[in-house]
Amino acid sequence: MRVVADIPNPHVKITLHSYNGKYILKIEKANLEQIYKIDETEVDGDEGVKALIDEEFIELVLNRFQDMRDAFVSSLRRNA
């Protein structure tokens, strides 16, 4: 897997990889991560992937991170 770009964002760490005909968009916040696999034929190169990362997408990603954290914390409380 080859790192194509680190995409700056004040809220999350975003890394774009290329592997086996796909772009792998890895988004990290604290100890959680989200990965999106995008077929190279679906976008116009690296810049096409970067264009997908708009304000609305980041907002939804941040909400999903909150949901992930809430689910994990709830599980810890139930099972600790």
- Listed residue (15, 23, 52, 16) closest to 39, CA to CA: 23
Per-residue pLDDT tens over the stretch 18-38: 999 999 999 999 999 999 999
Domain around 74:
2-79
Note if the pTM is more than 0.85. yes
How many domains does the chain fold into? 1
CA distances in angstroms from 52 to 6, 7, 15, 29, 76, listed in the order given? 15, 12, 13, 19, 34
- Listed residue (44, 60, 77, 51) closest to 11, CA to CA: 60
Per-residue pLDDT tens over the stretch 36-80: 999 999 999 999 999 999 999 999 999 999 999 999 999 999 998
Q: Is the pLDDT of residue 8 over 90?
A: yes
Token output for 72: 């994990």
